[in-house]
Amino acid sequence: MKLCTDLPAWRALRGNPDWQGRSVGFVPTMGALHAGHVSLLARARAENERVVLSVFVNPTQFNDPADLARYPRTLEADMALAAPYIDAVFAPAMEEIYPDSYRFQVTENDVSSRWEGLQRPGHFEGVLTVVLKLLNLVQPRRAYFGEKDWQQLQLVRGMADAFFLPVTIVSCPTIRDHDGVALSSRNRRLSAEARAHVTQFPALLRSSPDAATAAARLRAAGFDVDYVDDAGGERLAAIRVEGVRLIDHVTL
């Protein structure tokens, strides 16, 4: 497993003859890996000859500086968890990814204006911009994204199609804990009491007859609700508990 923290090192590795002509699977992350990320890496390992993990806490997708500051940085632990599945880790610094100081951005003007985009202005510009940069640098045959971030998945897939990127965007099922809660790096910021309480989040999304009822039931259960909405056979939702923002999505 190779660790590359700057562009010259990464380009040297990617240009190595041993990588030429081989299928590359790519899992882009912000680190703080958990079993959900491992499921993406395992699938990438099964379907490709080379697997790359990126670890980059992307500042441009955070509209709350405090949220960015609190995001866990656990590169050493991430590498240990990912080691059985990967050939390389790309963990660049901010200046490596944004030499333009974020002057150039990718903007989508339909799906990105709803749900997460409405609650977090500028979020998806940051997401799409960094994903495009990473895809250009890694040049994978396949890139793997979890279905929990359903809106993000649709946008990344749409961007890849719109810009004729030679990559297949592979969607992978949401991995849940034994109590039904979707795995998330943010879960570790919850107290034990809140973590037990949040089991109601996916349960109420599934059991409610419509989005309005789900939102009302979540509020009655003590959650701050950013949104619950039904679209295209999916129910999307975001809540806050103890100041921690959690998203989830279930197929209706």
Residue 38 CB-density burial (10 A; 0-12 exposed, 13-18 middle, 19+ buried): middle
Is residue 249 part of the annotated active site? The answer reads no
Please state, in angstroms and rounded to a whole number, the distance separating the CA atoms of residues 164 and 217.
43
Residue 146 three-state SS: strand
Residue type, position 205, single letter: L
CA 172 → CA 54, 60, 122, distances in Å? Answer: 17, 25, 25
Q: Catalytic pick from 34, 37, 123, 249?
A: 37
- The token pair at 49 is 């000859």
Contact 52, 201 (CB under 8 A): no
Q: Which residues are catalytic?
A: 37
